[in-house]
Structure 1
Amino acid sequence: MRVLLIENDQTIAGAISRAIGRIGVRCEQQSQENVETLIAERDGSLENYDAILVGNASSGDTFIASLRAKVGAAIIVSLLDHRCVNSTIQHLRAGADDVLVKPINPQEIEARLHAVRRRTHGHSSPELTVGRLTVFLDGRDPAVDGQRLRLSHREHAIFSVLALNVGRVVSKEKIYETVYTLSGSDPLDKVIDVYICKLRKKIAEATGGDKYIETVYGRGYKFEAPPDEDRDPGDPAPMRAGRPPIPALIKTPSTICARA
Protein backbone atom coordinates (compact mmCIF):
# COMPACT_ATOMS: atom_id res chain seq x y z
CA MET A 1 0.00 0.00 0.00
CA ARG A 2 1.37 3.42 -0.99
CA VAL A 3 0.44 6.30 1.32
CA LEU A 4 0.92 10.06 0.99
CA LEU A 5 1.22 12.14 4.16
CA ILE A 6 0.37 15.84 3.79
CA GLU A 7 1.80 17.60 6.83
CA ASN A 8 3.21 21.13 7.09
CA ASP A 9 5.12 20.47 10.32
CA GLN A 10 8.22 18.58 9.18
CA THR A 11 9.00 17.25 12.66
CA ILE A 12 5.55 15.72 12.98
CA ALA A 13 5.68 14.52 9.37
CA GLY A 14 8.95 12.71 9.98
CA ALA A 15 7.68 11.02 13.15
CA ILE A 16 4.44 9.83 11.50
CA SER A 17 6.22 8.68 8.35
CA ARG A 18 8.79 6.65 10.33
CA ALA A 19 6.07 5.05 12.46
CA ILE A 20 4.05 4.01 9.43
CA GLY A 21 7.19 2.76 7.67
CA ARG A 22 7.95 0.40 10.56
CA ILE A 23 4.82 -1.62 9.79
CA GLY A 24 5.85 -2.05 6.16
CA VAL A 25 3.63 0.62 4.61
CA ARG A 26 5.33 2.93 2.12
CA CYS A 27 4.76 6.52 3.24
CA GLU A 28 5.80 9.63 1.31
CA GLN A 29 5.58 13.25 2.47
CA GLN A 30 4.38 16.47 0.86
CA SER A 31 3.48 19.91 2.20
CA GLN A 32 0.02 21.35 1.64
CA GLU A 33 1.51 24.04 -0.62
CA ASN A 34 3.15 21.46 -2.89
CA VAL A 35 -0.03 19.41 -3.13
CA GLU A 36 -2.13 22.48 -3.92
CA THR A 37 0.31 23.23 -6.76
CA LEU A 38 -0.10 19.67 -8.09
CA ILE A 39 -3.89 20.04 -7.95
CA ALA A 40 -3.78 23.40 -9.76
CA GLU A 41 -1.49 21.98 -12.45
CA ARG A 42 -3.77 18.94 -12.82
CA ASP A 43 -0.82 16.71 -12.14
CA GLY A 44 -1.82 13.04 -12.20
CA SER A 45 0.68 11.80 -9.61
CA LEU A 46 -1.77 12.18 -6.70
CA GLU A 47 -3.99 9.52 -8.24
CA ASN A 48 -1.26 6.90 -7.78
CA TYR A 49 -1.68 6.69 -4.00
CA ASP A 50 -3.86 4.13 -2.23
CA ALA A 51 -4.44 6.49 0.69
CA ILE A 52 -3.76 10.10 1.66
CA LEU A 53 -3.31 11.24 5.27
CA VAL A 54 -4.04 14.94 5.81
CA GLY A 55 -2.38 16.43 8.90
CA ASN A 56 -2.01 20.13 9.74
CA ALA A 57 -3.68 21.97 6.87
CA SER A 58 -5.19 25.42 6.67
CA SER A 59 -8.86 25.51 5.60
CA GLY A 60 -8.92 21.77 6.18
CA ASP A 61 -12.41 21.06 4.87
CA THR A 62 -11.89 23.15 1.71
CA PHE A 63 -8.52 21.49 1.08
CA ILE A 64 -9.98 18.00 1.60
CA ALA A 65 -12.82 18.79 -0.82
CA SER A 66 -10.37 19.84 -3.55
CA LEU A 67 -8.24 16.81 -2.80
CA ARG A 68 -11.24 14.47 -3.04
CA ALA A 69 -12.19 15.92 -6.42
CA LYS A 70 -8.68 15.20 -7.65
CA VAL A 71 -7.87 11.73 -6.27
CA GLY A 72 -11.21 10.03 -6.90
CA ALA A 73 -11.47 6.74 -5.03
CA ALA A 74 -8.25 7.05 -3.00
CA ILE A 75 -8.78 6.80 0.78
CA ILE A 76 -8.51 10.13 2.61
CA VAL A 77 -7.93 10.18 6.38
CA SER A 78 -7.85 13.45 8.30
CA LEU A 79 -5.45 13.65 11.27
CA LEU A 80 -6.58 16.22 13.85
CA ASP A 81 -4.38 17.73 16.56
CA HIS A 82 -7.19 17.39 19.10
CA ARG A 83 -10.70 16.05 19.22
CA CYS A 84 -13.18 18.46 17.69
CA VAL A 85 -16.70 17.42 16.73
CA ASN A 86 -17.22 20.33 14.33
CA SER A 87 -13.95 19.68 12.47
CA THR A 88 -14.71 15.97 12.28
CA ILE A 89 -18.13 16.63 10.75
CA GLN A 90 -16.76 19.19 8.29
CA HIS A 91 -13.93 16.92 7.12
CA LEU A 92 -16.22 13.92 6.66
CA ARG A 93 -18.71 16.00 4.72
CA ALA A 94 -15.89 17.41 2.58
CA GLY A 95 -14.86 13.92 1.47
CA ALA A 96 -12.67 12.35 4.16
CA ASP A 97 -13.27 8.63 4.72
CA ASP A 98 -12.12 8.70 8.33
CA VAL A 99 -10.86 11.10 11.02
CA LEU A 100 -8.25 10.30 13.67
CA VAL A 101 -6.74 12.30 16.51
CA LYS A 102 -2.97 12.55 17.00
CA PRO A 103 -0.86 10.92 18.27
CA ILE A 104 -1.69 8.10 15.88
CA ASN A 105 -1.05 4.39 16.17
CA PRO A 106 0.35 3.03 12.87
CA GLN A 107 -1.32 -0.37 13.33
CA GLU A 108 -4.67 1.35 13.81
CA ILE A 109 -4.18 3.44 10.67
CA GLU A 110 -3.25 0.33 8.66
CA ALA A 111 -6.34 -1.53 9.96
CA ARG A 112 -8.60 1.42 9.16
CA LEU A 113 -7.17 1.77 5.65
CA HIS A 114 -7.74 -1.93 4.95
CA ALA A 115 -11.31 -1.65 6.31
CA VAL A 116 -12.17 1.34 4.10
CA ARG A 117 -10.60 -0.26 1.03
CA ARG A 118 -12.52 -3.47 1.70
CA ARG A 119 -15.85 -1.64 1.96
CA THR A 120 -15.22 0.44 -1.17
CA HIS A 121 -14.96 -2.85 -3.07
CA GLY A 122 -18.25 -4.07 -1.59
CA HIS A 123 -16.87 -6.47 1.05
CA SER A 124 -18.36 -6.23 4.53
CA SER A 125 -16.20 -8.98 6.04
CA PRO A 126 -12.39 -9.02 6.38
CA GLU A 127 -12.42 -12.62 5.13
CA LEU A 128 -13.65 -14.13 1.88
CA THR A 129 -14.12 -17.80 1.11
CA VAL A 130 -13.37 -18.50 -2.53
CA GLY A 131 -13.53 -22.23 -3.19
CA ARG A 132 -10.93 -23.80 -0.92
CA LEU A 133 -9.14 -20.49 -0.46
CA THR A 134 -9.67 -18.19 2.49
CA VAL A 135 -8.74 -14.65 1.49
CA PHE A 136 -7.86 -12.15 4.20
CA LEU A 137 -8.41 -8.51 3.30
CA ASP A 138 -6.30 -7.21 6.18
CA GLY A 139 -2.90 -7.90 4.66
CA ARG A 140 -2.39 -11.53 5.68
CA ASP A 141 -1.47 -14.29 3.25
CA PRO A 142 -4.38 -16.44 2.01
CA ALA A 143 -4.96 -19.95 3.33
CA VAL A 144 -5.89 -23.23 1.64
CA ASP A 145 -7.93 -25.52 3.88
CA GLY A 146 -6.59 -23.60 6.87
CA GLN A 147 -2.94 -23.84 5.81
CA ARG A 148 -1.13 -20.58 5.01
CA LEU A 149 -0.18 -20.07 1.37
CA ARG A 150 3.08 -18.14 1.57
CA LEU A 151 3.38 -15.37 -1.01
CA SER A 152 6.21 -12.96 -1.73
CA HIS A 153 5.59 -9.25 -1.22
CA ARG A 154 4.91 -8.65 -4.92
CA GLU A 155 2.81 -11.81 -5.31
CA HIS A 156 0.71 -10.73 -2.34
CA ALA A 157 0.20 -7.23 -3.78
CA ILE A 158 -1.04 -8.63 -7.09
CA PHE A 159 -3.17 -11.28 -5.40
CA SER A 160 -4.80 -8.58 -3.23
CA VAL A 161 -5.86 -6.61 -6.31
CA LEU A 162 -7.48 -9.71 -7.81
CA ALA A 163 -9.08 -10.76 -4.50
CA LEU A 164 -10.65 -7.35 -3.87
CA ASN A 165 -12.27 -7.67 -7.30
CA VAL A 166 -13.23 -11.34 -6.98
CA GLY A 167 -15.48 -12.41 -9.85
CA ARG A 168 -14.63 -9.31 -11.88
CA VAL A 169 -12.13 -8.90 -14.71
CA VAL A 170 -9.13 -6.75 -13.79
CA SER A 171 -7.00 -5.41 -16.61
CA LYS A 172 -3.26 -5.98 -16.65
CA GLU A 173 -2.80 -2.20 -16.78
CA LYS A 174 -4.89 -1.73 -13.62
CA ILE A 175 -2.85 -4.34 -11.75
CA TYR A 176 0.39 -2.73 -12.87
CA GLU A 177 -0.73 0.77 -11.91
CA THR A 178 -1.96 -0.38 -8.49
CA VAL A 179 1.08 -2.47 -7.60
CA TYR A 180 3.84 -0.39 -9.15
CA THR A 181 2.08 3.03 -9.06
CA LEU A 182 3.09 3.52 -12.70
CA SER A 183 1.21 3.34 -15.96
CA GLY A 184 1.61 -0.07 -17.54
CA SER A 185 3.13 -0.31 -20.98
CA ASP A 186 4.68 -3.04 -23.05
CA PRO A 187 7.10 -4.55 -22.17
CA LEU A 188 6.97 -3.34 -18.55
CA ASP A 189 3.59 -4.90 -17.85
CA LYS A 190 5.01 -8.30 -18.89
CA VAL A 191 6.16 -8.61 -15.28
CA ILE A 192 2.50 -9.08 -14.36
CA ASP A 193 2.42 -12.23 -16.52
CA VAL A 194 5.40 -13.59 -14.60
CA TYR A 195 3.79 -13.05 -11.20
CA ILE A 196 0.42 -14.38 -12.35
CA CYS A 197 2.28 -17.50 -13.45
CA LYS A 198 3.88 -17.83 -10.02
CA LEU A 199 0.55 -17.33 -8.26
CA ARG A 200 -1.15 -19.95 -10.41
CA LYS A 201 1.63 -22.41 -9.71
CA LYS A 202 1.48 -21.92 -5.92
CA ILE A 203 -2.31 -22.15 -5.81
CA ALA A 204 -2.32 -25.24 -8.05
CA GLU A 205 0.30 -26.99 -5.91
CA ALA A 206 -1.71 -26.27 -2.75
CA THR A 207 -5.12 -27.27 -4.15
CA GLY A 208 -4.32 -30.28 -6.29
CA GLY A 209 -4.39 -28.45 -9.61
CA ASP A 210 -7.39 -26.16 -9.19
CA LYS A 211 -7.39 -23.06 -11.36
CA TYR A 212 -8.47 -19.86 -9.63
CA ILE A 213 -7.03 -17.19 -11.93
CA GLU A 214 -8.55 -17.08 -15.41
CA THR A 215 -7.08 -15.19 -18.33
CA VAL A 216 -9.78 -13.22 -20.12
CA TYR A 217 -7.98 -12.61 -23.39
CA GLY A 218 -7.83 -8.99 -24.43
CA ARG A 219 -9.27 -7.82 -21.11
CA GLY A 220 -7.16 -9.09 -18.20
CA TYR A 221 -7.51 -11.60 -15.37
CA LYS A 222 -10.36 -12.82 -13.19
CA PHE A 223 -10.05 -14.46 -9.77
CA GLU A 224 -12.84 -16.82 -8.74
CA ALA A 225 -13.48 -20.36 -7.49
CA PRO A 226 -13.08 -23.02 -10.17
CA PRO A 227 -16.38 -24.53 -11.33
CA ASP A 228 -17.07 -28.07 -10.13
CA GLU A 229 -17.32 -29.34 -13.68
CA ASP A 230 -13.61 -28.62 -14.18
CA ARG A 231 -12.85 -31.76 -12.19
CA ASP A 232 -13.50 -35.22 -13.68
CA PRO A 233 -16.16 -36.99 -11.58
CA GLY A 234 -13.93 -40.06 -11.55
CA ASP A 235 -11.01 -38.17 -10.04
CA PRO A 236 -10.34 -38.53 -6.32
CA ALA A 237 -11.08 -35.59 -4.04
CA PRO A 238 -8.52 -32.80 -4.25
CA MET A 239 -5.58 -33.10 -1.91
CA ARG A 240 -5.36 -31.08 1.27
CA ALA A 241 -2.59 -28.61 1.83
CA GLY A 242 0.48 -30.26 3.31
CA ARG A 243 -0.07 -33.71 1.75
CA PRO A 244 2.20 -34.98 -1.02
CA PRO A 245 0.97 -33.82 -4.44
CA ILE A 246 -0.83 -36.22 -6.73
CA PRO A 247 1.08 -36.06 -10.03
CA ALA A 248 -1.94 -36.92 -12.16
CA LEU A 249 -3.83 -33.93 -10.86
CA ILE A 250 -1.11 -31.29 -10.92
CA LYS A 251 -0.65 -29.18 -14.01
CA THR A 252 3.01 -28.76 -14.90
CA PRO A 253 4.57 -25.31 -14.44
CA SER A 254 5.00 -24.95 -18.18
CA THR A 255 1.30 -25.60 -18.73
CA ILE A 256 0.31 -23.11 -16.03
CA CYS A 257 2.68 -20.44 -17.31
CA ALA A 258 1.55 -20.96 -20.89
CA ARG A 259 -1.95 -19.92 -19.87
CA ALA A 260 -0.79 -16.68 -18.31
Structure 2
Amino acid sequence: MSARILLVEDDPLITGTLTELLADEGYAVDAVRTQRDAAELLGGAAASPYQLVLLDVSLAEGSGFAVCALAKQTHPDLPVIFLTASDDEVSTVTGLTMGADDYIAKPFRPRELLARIQAAIRRSRPMRSRLLRLGAITIDPDSAHVERDGTEIALSALEYRLLLLFARHPGKLITREAMRDALWDEAGAYIEENTLSVYIRRLRNKIEDDPASPQIIETVRGLGYRARA
Protein backbone atom coordinates (compact mmCIF):
# COMPACT_ATOMS: atom_id res chain seq x y z
CA MET A 1 0.00 0.00 0.00
CA SER A 2 1.36 3.44 -0.93
CA ALA A 3 1.97 6.06 1.72
CA ARG A 4 -0.69 8.75 1.99
CA ILE A 5 0.38 12.36 2.41
CA LEU A 6 -1.68 15.33 3.56
CA LEU A 7 -0.60 18.43 1.65
CA VAL A 8 -1.65 21.74 3.21
CA GLU A 9 -0.86 24.50 0.72
CA ASP A 10 -2.94 27.43 -0.52
CA ASP A 11 -0.98 28.17 -3.69
CA PRO A 12 -2.72 26.29 -6.55
CA LEU A 13 0.43 26.21 -8.68
CA ILE A 14 2.55 24.67 -5.92
CA THR A 15 -0.26 22.29 -5.00
CA GLY A 16 -0.53 21.07 -8.58
CA THR A 17 3.22 20.65 -8.95
CA LEU A 18 3.61 18.78 -5.66
CA THR A 19 0.59 16.55 -6.22
CA GLU A 20 1.88 15.49 -9.62
CA LEU A 21 5.43 14.97 -8.32
CA LEU A 22 4.28 12.84 -5.38
CA ALA A 23 1.79 10.86 -7.46
CA ASP A 24 4.55 9.98 -9.93
CA GLU A 25 6.49 8.52 -6.97
CA GLY A 26 3.57 6.36 -5.90
CA TYR A 27 2.22 8.52 -3.06
CA ALA A 28 -1.48 9.16 -2.52
CA VAL A 29 -2.09 12.85 -1.84
CA ASP A 30 -4.95 14.69 -0.16
CA ALA A 31 -4.51 18.42 -0.79
CA VAL A 32 -6.30 21.10 1.25
CA ARG A 33 -5.87 24.87 1.40
CA THR A 34 -6.88 25.94 4.90
CA GLN A 35 -6.22 25.19 8.55
CA ARG A 36 -9.86 24.28 9.00
CA ASP A 37 -9.83 21.70 6.21
CA ALA A 38 -6.62 20.18 7.54
CA ALA A 39 -8.06 20.01 11.06
CA GLU A 40 -11.11 18.09 9.81
CA LEU A 41 -8.89 15.47 8.21
CA LEU A 42 -6.46 15.19 11.12
CA GLY A 43 -8.71 15.33 14.13
CA GLY A 44 -11.42 12.82 13.40
CA ALA A 45 -9.67 9.45 13.56
CA ALA A 46 -7.92 7.63 16.37
CA ALA A 47 -5.27 6.42 13.94
CA SER A 48 -3.96 8.82 11.35
CA PRO A 49 -4.84 7.91 7.76
CA TYR A 50 -1.64 9.71 6.73
CA GLN A 51 2.02 8.80 6.90
CA LEU A 52 3.20 12.42 6.57
CA VAL A 53 1.97 16.01 6.55
CA LEU A 54 3.56 18.43 4.07
CA LEU A 55 2.69 21.86 5.36
CA ASP A 56 3.10 25.45 4.22
CA VAL A 57 3.88 27.84 7.05
CA SER A 58 1.82 30.68 5.59
CA LEU A 59 -1.80 29.95 4.79
CA ALA A 60 -4.34 32.46 3.54
CA GLU A 61 -6.84 31.08 6.05
CA GLY A 62 -5.31 30.00 9.34
CA SER A 63 -1.79 29.08 10.38
CA GLY A 64 0.55 26.30 9.41
CA PHE A 65 1.85 26.32 12.97
CA ALA A 66 -1.63 25.57 14.28
CA VAL A 67 -1.95 22.66 11.87
CA CYS A 68 1.41 21.30 13.05
CA ALA A 69 0.36 21.62 16.69
CA LEU A 70 -2.88 19.74 16.01
CA ALA A 71 -1.09 17.02 14.05
CA LYS A 72 1.38 16.42 16.87
CA GLN A 73 -1.33 16.57 19.52
CA THR A 74 -3.63 14.05 17.85
CA HIS A 75 -0.97 11.85 16.23
CA PRO A 76 2.41 12.37 17.96
CA ASP A 77 4.29 9.99 15.65
CA LEU A 78 2.99 11.57 12.45
CA PRO A 79 5.92 13.31 10.70
CA VAL A 80 5.46 16.92 9.60
CA ILE A 81 7.61 18.70 7.03
CA PHE A 82 7.27 22.46 6.71
CA LEU A 83 7.57 24.32 3.43
CA THR A 84 9.13 27.72 4.18
CA ALA A 85 10.43 30.74 2.32
CA SER A 86 14.18 30.44 1.79
CA ASP A 87 14.95 33.49 3.94
CA ASP A 88 12.38 32.82 6.70
CA GLU A 89 14.70 31.57 9.44
CA VAL A 90 12.30 32.51 12.23
CA SER A 91 9.51 30.35 10.84
CA THR A 92 11.90 27.46 10.35
CA VAL A 93 13.12 27.58 13.94
CA THR A 94 9.59 28.00 15.27
CA GLY A 95 8.34 25.01 13.31
CA LEU A 96 11.15 22.75 14.47
CA THR A 97 10.64 23.88 18.06
CA MET A 98 6.97 22.94 17.81
CA GLY A 99 7.87 19.40 16.82
CA ALA A 100 8.11 19.51 13.04
CA ASP A 101 10.39 16.78 11.75
CA ASP A 102 11.99 18.70 8.90
CA TYR A 103 11.63 21.71 6.65
CA ILE A 104 12.46 22.54 3.08
CA ALA A 105 12.84 25.96 1.56
CA LYS A 106 10.93 27.28 -1.44
CA PRO A 107 11.69 27.06 -4.26
CA PHE A 108 12.46 23.44 -3.52
CA ARG A 109 14.41 20.91 -5.54
CA PRO A 110 12.11 17.97 -6.34
CA ARG A 111 14.63 15.20 -5.67
CA GLU A 112 15.67 16.73 -2.36
CA LEU A 113 12.06 17.05 -1.27
CA LEU A 114 11.35 13.42 -2.16
CA ALA A 115 14.45 12.27 -0.28
CA ARG A 116 13.40 14.19 2.83
CA ILE A 117 9.87 12.78 2.64
CA GLN A 118 11.17 9.22 2.32
CA ALA A 119 13.55 9.72 5.25
CA ALA A 120 10.83 11.18 7.50
CA ILE A 121 8.41 8.34 6.76
CA ARG A 122 11.12 5.75 7.30
CA ARG A 123 12.08 7.24 10.68
CA SER A 124 8.47 7.28 11.84
CA ARG A 125 7.85 3.61 11.19
CA PRO A 126 7.85 1.48 14.34
CA MET A 127 10.79 -0.82 14.89
CA ARG A 128 10.28 -4.37 13.76
CA SER A 129 8.79 -6.42 16.53
CA ARG A 130 11.31 -8.42 18.55
CA LEU A 131 8.65 -10.69 20.01
CA LEU A 132 9.55 -14.37 20.18
CA ARG A 133 6.94 -17.11 19.90
CA LEU A 134 6.72 -20.76 20.82
CA GLY A 135 3.31 -22.08 19.89
CA ALA A 136 0.79 -20.03 21.84
CA ILE A 137 3.53 -18.55 24.03
CA THR A 138 4.72 -14.99 23.29
CA ILE A 139 7.89 -13.57 24.83
CA ASP A 140 8.91 -9.91 24.77
CA PRO A 141 12.68 -9.84 25.47
CA ASP A 142 12.63 -6.08 26.02
CA SER A 143 10.27 -6.28 28.99
CA ALA A 144 10.68 -9.97 29.96
CA HIS A 145 6.91 -10.26 29.57
CA VAL A 146 5.54 -13.72 28.79
CA GLU A 147 1.96 -14.51 27.92
CA ARG A 148 -0.20 -17.27 26.52
CA ASP A 149 -3.20 -16.31 24.40
CA GLY A 150 -3.16 -12.84 25.96
CA THR A 151 -2.82 -14.01 29.56
CA GLU A 152 0.41 -13.20 31.40
CA ILE A 153 2.49 -16.08 32.72
CA ALA A 154 4.57 -15.45 35.85
CA LEU A 155 7.99 -17.08 35.63
CA SER A 156 10.95 -17.08 37.96
CA ALA A 157 14.18 -15.60 36.65
CA LEU A 158 15.68 -19.00 35.81
CA GLU A 159 12.44 -20.26 34.27
CA TYR A 160 12.34 -17.18 32.07
CA ARG A 161 15.97 -17.61 30.98
CA LEU A 162 15.30 -21.24 30.19
CA LEU A 163 12.25 -20.34 28.09
CA LEU A 164 14.23 -17.62 26.31
CA LEU A 165 16.94 -20.13 25.46
CA PHE A 166 14.39 -22.40 23.78
CA ALA A 167 12.64 -19.53 22.01
CA ARG A 168 15.89 -18.31 20.49
CA HIS A 169 16.74 -21.77 19.13
CA PRO A 170 13.45 -23.25 17.92
CA GLY A 171 13.71 -26.69 16.39
CA LYS A 172 17.29 -27.19 17.55
CA LEU A 173 18.52 -29.76 20.01
CA ILE A 174 19.83 -28.19 23.22
CA THR A 175 21.83 -30.59 25.35
CA ARG A 176 21.46 -30.58 29.10
CA GLU A 177 25.10 -29.58 29.39
CA ALA A 178 24.58 -26.59 27.09
CA MET A 179 21.52 -25.59 29.08
CA ARG A 180 23.37 -25.79 32.39
CA ASP A 181 26.25 -23.75 30.98
CA ALA A 182 23.86 -21.08 29.66
CA LEU A 183 21.94 -20.82 32.92
CA TRP A 184 25.15 -20.84 34.94
CA ASP A 185 26.46 -17.89 32.95
CA GLU A 186 23.22 -15.99 33.48
CA ALA A 187 22.52 -16.90 37.10
CA GLY A 188 26.07 -16.82 38.42
CA ALA A 189 25.64 -20.17 40.18
CA TYR A 190 26.21 -23.70 38.99
CA ILE A 191 23.05 -25.56 37.97
CA GLU A 192 23.07 -29.21 38.98
CA GLU A 193 21.54 -31.98 36.88
CA ASN A 194 18.62 -32.53 39.23
CA THR A 195 18.00 -28.78 39.55
CA LEU A 196 17.74 -28.46 35.78
CA SER A 197 15.12 -31.23 35.70
CA VAL A 198 13.13 -29.37 38.33
CA TYR A 199 13.16 -26.15 36.29
CA ILE A 200 12.16 -27.97 33.11
CA ARG A 201 9.23 -29.52 34.97
CA ARG A 202 8.17 -26.18 36.49
CA LEU A 203 8.37 -24.45 33.12
CA ARG A 204 6.28 -27.13 31.45
CA ASN A 205 3.69 -26.85 34.19
CA LYS A 206 3.27 -23.18 33.33
CA ILE A 207 3.34 -23.22 29.53
CA GLU A 208 2.05 -26.62 28.41
CA ASP A 209 -1.59 -27.63 28.02
CA ASP A 210 -0.67 -31.06 29.33
CA PRO A 211 2.72 -31.07 31.09
CA ALA A 212 2.69 -34.88 31.10
CA SER A 213 2.56 -34.84 27.30
CA PRO A 214 4.51 -31.68 26.38
CA GLN A 215 4.00 -30.16 22.94
CA ILE A 216 6.21 -27.07 23.24
CA ILE A 217 9.36 -28.41 24.89
CA GLU A 218 10.08 -31.96 23.78
CA THR A 219 12.45 -34.40 25.44
CA VAL A 220 15.06 -35.94 23.16
CA ARG A 221 15.93 -38.98 25.20
CA GLY A 222 19.57 -39.35 26.09
CA LEU A 223 20.46 -36.04 24.44
CA GLY A 224 18.49 -33.08 25.80
CA TYR A 225 15.48 -31.02 24.76
CA ARG A 226 14.05 -29.33 21.72
CA ALA A 227 11.46 -26.59 21.34
CA ARG A 228 9.03 -27.13 18.49
CA ALA A 229 9.64 -24.58 15.75
* TM-score of the two chains, using structure 2 as the length reference: 0.50
Between Structure 1 and Structure 2, whose CA radius of gyration is higher?
2
Q: Greater strand percent: which structure?
A: 2
